[in-house]
Chains A and B, each alone.
Chain A
Amino acid sequence: MSLSRLREQFRQALADPDLAAPYERATATARAKRAAAAAELPDYEEQRQKAADARREAIDHLDALVERFREAFTRDGGTVHHAADAEEARSLVKRILSERGARTVVKAKSMLSEEIALNEDLIASGWEVHETDLGEFIVQIAGQRPSHITAPALHLDRVDIGRIFHEKLGVDYTEDPVELATIARRLLRERFLQADAGISGANFLVARTGQIVLLENEANIRMCTTLPPLHIAVVGVEKVIAEVDDLGPLLSVIARSATGQKLGAYTSILGAAGPPERHVVLVDNGRRQLAQHPRKREILTCIRCGACLNACPVYERIGGHAYESAYSGPIGALLGPHHLGTDHGRELPFASSLCGACSEVCPVKIDIPELLRLERERYVETGGADVGERLAWWLWSKVMTRPRLYRLLARVGRGILQGPGIIAEGSSVLRDWTDGRKLPIPSSTSFIDQWKHQGGATTRTNPIWDRTRAQRALEATRKAKRSWAASRGRAGRGKDRKP
């Protein structure tokens, strides 16, 4: 995908006059609930810091904790599998299901299964797969994709859902939420009882105790993970945390951030001992490589609460599907370049005004704007920017360091912009701005020229002495960058490539 394709994709989303309304409504409610839930906890900021620390600590010791989890989970009778990438994860799941003769699967909501396109693969290979989270259930029968990390059917209102139920399930049309839920409940109950296997994700894996932690409000996860004789948890390796004690702050901030609740209605902490027979498929899919980057590893501390989506002014305009990624919103834009959730997400970091509303609410304090900016740097370094843009910024750096030339060119530029009709009609260069907005008319004289003209006091720099030092500063920057690039090359080969 190129930046122009991303732009086209967004343009199409924005062309739908009804698209933004449900996102605006739902995110506004979620924002208010989150703010209230955070405000009612006197030590919320303290809990948030503890949660952030616990996650950073876990990512810093990822391999050791994963090993500790494996030991504990295996000791108690479970089986741990390692999948290097999406394909291996899917194969492992299919193998486990086949070996147990399982044909019918009930699924708990899992973003990782979206990331690795598990449902599509299982269904194509002949399995019967039923999503059991109400939102996921609706999205599945509608033949759509989730539009939000925690609220998959956020883009649909009850009228839409009534129609989908009527068309796909053959029930009488109703838009009454209670009736709709009852219909789904009746259908799902049968499926829980008939299923050969349950597949879930996990919110956390506790390394010390070998436990799987799952949070929910509908009890469908509890059904998926306890009723069928086989339970497979397909989990990203980064979900591991060191101790049960870490759950204190983490559970406190995740529910408040996601739904404004003190705690989810159901918190399941499952050990390996069954029945059912339990398997954990730990999926890497590029995560360990990301964990080696000194700064970007912070992306892996994400606990998928969705608060950044609810806060994001971009997400509420274009919705979740325009990202063309399992993960949308600010966190989706950070995961995209690492091929997590999408194969064409290189440009997604540009889908942000870097306003910072996301990091303001992030319960584990991920500096999302700074990380997005780093991904933009990476995009430029790897040849993503076109020749025109590279030339433009190169010229910018040359002109802006030559004040006299800059002032001369600026005067010419202001003159051109003041010329007849250019701003009003929009020249091709300026059209990207002027199609939607009027440009202000530039001043005929700059402030600094006016100031000097009126005898205001100014200061100057010594041009010769300074240029030498500026040159040295630039060289130092380049050198730092080179040694950084070299150390990166050594630490993890092709770390930002698709595994």
Chain B
Amino acid sequence: MIELADSVCSRLGLHKSHREGKIVPASMDRGDRVRIHLFVPCFVDHFAPGVAWASARILQRLGHEVVVPESQTCCGQAGYNSGFHEESVEVATQWVRSFTQADAVVGSSGSCVAFVRNMYPQLFENTPYAEEARRLSERTWELSSFLVDVLGVDELGARYPVRATFHDGCHGLRQLGLGKQARRLLAKVEGLELVEMGRPDLCCGFGGSFSVKLPELSVSMADAKLEEVLATGAEVVIATEPTCLTQIVGRAHKRGLPLRAMHLAEVLDHTGQEAVR
């Protein structure tokens, strides 16, 4: 991840700091700002705007400029995983068009970012968007990875006294290698006690259209995940995947369990000065 980020950084005009081997934007040394295009997954846009706000504020507090392409709609993954290839290309085209000017794209869903990073190059092969899709796929990061791997930041001054556990979203974990970054960031959150599950990487059972095509199975998987979460005694389950959280906490609330779900960005944004959602 570091190596990949390193090569991208040089193209971005970022450079690796000599001290501690951290990657920091060259522009920051001069007091300039990196212009970040915020990738707002459709679910976040309509159901969890607080996650996007938290992401934007974290990046702004680090001194960067955040812009939001207003023509972005959806990355196209939902249809792709359901077997509707052509429809997905069409929708993904809208994403590429929306981010075409971006040098750095940061999103708050590991799954959506994994789709752009890993699938776009093959999705747009032999189309007029091939070059741009490939370029963008290398410049799109999930928030925790951007903070830790690209910016080399793990201390954000967050304070949140709570007993929490972290759920690894499958696509973020297995397609982007996420998980360690979030844990590093959470370790620096003052007052937060992180209790690991026996199986933090057990799928929550959401799986996009899977959750409504085979709902009983999906819910049964959510129950298995909840067993893991409840065994930690955590009040809050944290993830970098908004839809996993909806699945886990949606099931918990249906069963009358008082569990709360928070996106990593919301936890990191909890500085005591900012009101969160």
Which residues of B sit under 8 angstroms from A456, Cβ to Cβ? 56, 66-68
Contact with B along A302-346 (1 / 0, CB 8 A): 000000000001101110000000000000000000000000000
Which residues of A sit under 8 angstroms from B201, Cβ to Cβ? 357
**CB < 8 Å A-B pair total:** 244
Indicate which residue in B44, B83, B101, B206 contacts A353 across the interface (CB closer than 8 Å). Answer: B206
A446 touches B70 (CB 8 A): no
A385 touches B83 (CB 8 A): yes
Q: Which of A174-182, A433-441, A488-496 contacts B (4 or more CB under 8 A)?
A: A433-441
A residues 440-463 touching B (CB-CB < 8 Å): 440, 442-443, 445-448, 450-452, 456-461
Determine whether A14 belongs to the interface, using a CB cutoff of 8 Å to chain B: yes
Which residues of B sit under 8 angstroms from A452, Cβ to Cβ? 68, 70
CB closest chain-B residue, reference A477: B89
Which residues of B sit under 8 angstroms from A469, Cβ to Cβ? 97, 128-129
Determine whether A380 belongs to the interface, using a CB cutoff of 8 Å to chain B: yes
Alpha-carbon gap, A343 to B267, bound state (A)? 50
Which residues of B sit under 8 angstroms from A450, Cβ to Cβ? 49, 53
Alpha-carbon gap, A377 to B89, bound state (A)? 13
A435 touches B70 (CB 8 A): no
- Smallest CB–CB gap between B189 and chain A, Å? 23
Interface-central residue, B45, B100, B129, B171, by most chain A CB under 10 Å:
B45
A353 touches B221 (CB 8 A): yes
B91 touches A350 (CB 8 A): no
Q: Which of B23-31, B155-163, B178-186, B208-216 contacts A (4 or more CB under 8 A)?
A: B208-216
Determine whether B17 belongs to the interface, using a CB cutoff of 8 Å to chain A: no
CB closest chain-B residue, reference A351: B214
Determine whether A11 belongs to the interface, using a CB cutoff of 8 Å to chain B: yes
A459 touches B70 (CB 8 A): yes
Which residues of A sit under 8 angstroms from B128, Cβ to Cβ? 469, 472-473, 476
- Residues of A in contact (CB 8 Å), total 78
Which residues of A sit under 8 angstroms from B217, Cβ to Cβ? 7, 10, 14, 314, 317-318, 351
A477 touches B40 (CB 8 A): no
Given known A373-B81, A474-B93, contact A445–B49 (CB-CB < 8 A): yes
A438 touches B250 (CB 8 A): yes
Determine whether A478 belongs to the interface, using a CB cutoff of 8 Å to chain B: yes
Alpha-carbon gap, A442 to B175, bound state (A)? 29
Contact with A along B66-84 (1 / 0, CB 8 A): 1111111110101111111
Determine whether A266 belongs to the interface, using a CB cutoff of 8 Å to chain B: no
- Smallest CB–CB gap between A336 and chain B, Å? 15
Which residues of B sit under 8 angstroms from A294, Cβ to Cβ? none
Alpha-carbon gap, A400 to B211, bound state (A)? 21
Given known A393-B79, A461-B71, A477-B86, contact A436–B216 (CB-CB < 8 A): yes
B residues 174-203 touching A (CB-CB < 8 Å): 174-175, 201-203
B residues 238-268 touching A (CB-CB < 8 Å): 246-247, 250-251, 253-254
Which residues of B sit under 8 angstroms from A457, Cβ to Cβ? 65-68
- Smallest CB–CB gap between A405 and chain B, Å? 10
B37 touches A353 (CB 8 A): no
Given known A440-B250, A457-B68, contact A360–B85 (CB-CB < 8 A): no
A406 touches B216 (CB 8 A): no
- Smallest CB–CB gap between A35 and chain B, Å? 12
Which residues of A sit under 8 angstroms from B208, Cβ to Cβ? 353-354
A residues 4-42 touching B (CB-CB < 8 Å): 6-7, 10-11, 14, 20, 24
Dominant secondary structure of chain B at its interface with chain A: helix
Determine whether A414 belongs to the interface, using a CB cutoff of 8 Å to chain B: yes
Determine whether A264 belongs to the interface, using a CB cutoff of 8 Å to chain B: no
Determine whether B230 belongs to the interface, using a CB cutoff of 8 Å to chain A: no
Given known A354-B210, A397-B87, A397-B91, contact A403–B70 (CB-CB < 8 A): yes
Which residues of B sit under 8 angstroms from A459, Cβ to Cβ? 37, 67-70, 98, 101
Alpha-carbon gap, A424 to B202, bound state (A)? 28
CB closest chain-B residue, reference A441: B47
Indicate which residue in B69, B125, B213 contacts A3 across the interface (CB closer than 8 Å). Answer: B213
- Residues of B in contact (CB 8 Å), total 79
CB closest chain-B residue, reference A318: B217
Which residues of A sit under 8 angstroms from B224, Cβ to Cβ? 24, 313, 316-317
A473 touches B84 (CB 8 A): no
A436 touches B218 (CB 8 A): yes
Which residues of B sit under 8 angstroms from A446, Cβ to Cβ? 45-46, 49
Alpha-carbon gap, A478 to B93, bound state (A)? 14
Given known A400-B74, A470-B97, A473-B129, contact A377–B85 (CB-CB < 8 A): yes
CB closest chain-B residue, reference A6: B214
Determine whether A410 belongs to the interface, using a CB cutoff of 8 Å to chain B: yes
- Smallest CB–CB gap between B187 and chain A, Å? 24
Alpha-carbon gap, A237 to B207, bound state (A)? 35
- Smallest CB–CB gap between B3 and chain A, Å? 18
CB closest chain-B residue, reference A474: B90
A350 touches B210 (CB 8 A): yes
- Smallest CB–CB gap between B253 and chain A, Å? 4
Which residues of B sit under 8 angstroms from A478, Cβ to Cβ? 86
Determine whether B59 belongs to the interface, using a CB cutoff of 8 Å to chain A: no
CB closest chain-A residue, reference B93: A470
Interface-central residue, A318, A352, A400, A435, by most chain B CB under 10 Å:
A400
CB closest chain-B residue, reference A414: B46
B71 touches A353 (CB 8 A): no
List 15 other contacts, CB 8 Å, given A7-B217, A354-B170, A466-B97. Answer: A10-B217, A314-B221, A317-B221, A350-B213, A353-B210, A354-B81, A354-B210, A355-B207, A389-B82, A401-B93, A437-B219, A437-B246, A461-B98, A473-B124, A477-B86
Could you name 19 residue pairs across A and B whose Cβ atoms are closer than 8 Å? A11-B216, A24-B224, A317-B217, A317-B220, A353-B207, A353-B208, A379-B83, A397-B88, A401-B93, A433-B212, A438-B250, A438-B253, A447-B40, A451-B68, A452-B70, A458-B67, A459-B69, A474-B86, A477-B89
Chain B residues proximal to chain A, CB less than 8 Å? 37, 40, 44-49, 52-53, 56, 65-74, 76, 78-91, 93-94, 97-98, 100-101, 124-129, 170-171, 174-175, 201-203, 205-208, 210-222, 224, 246-247, 250-251, 253-254
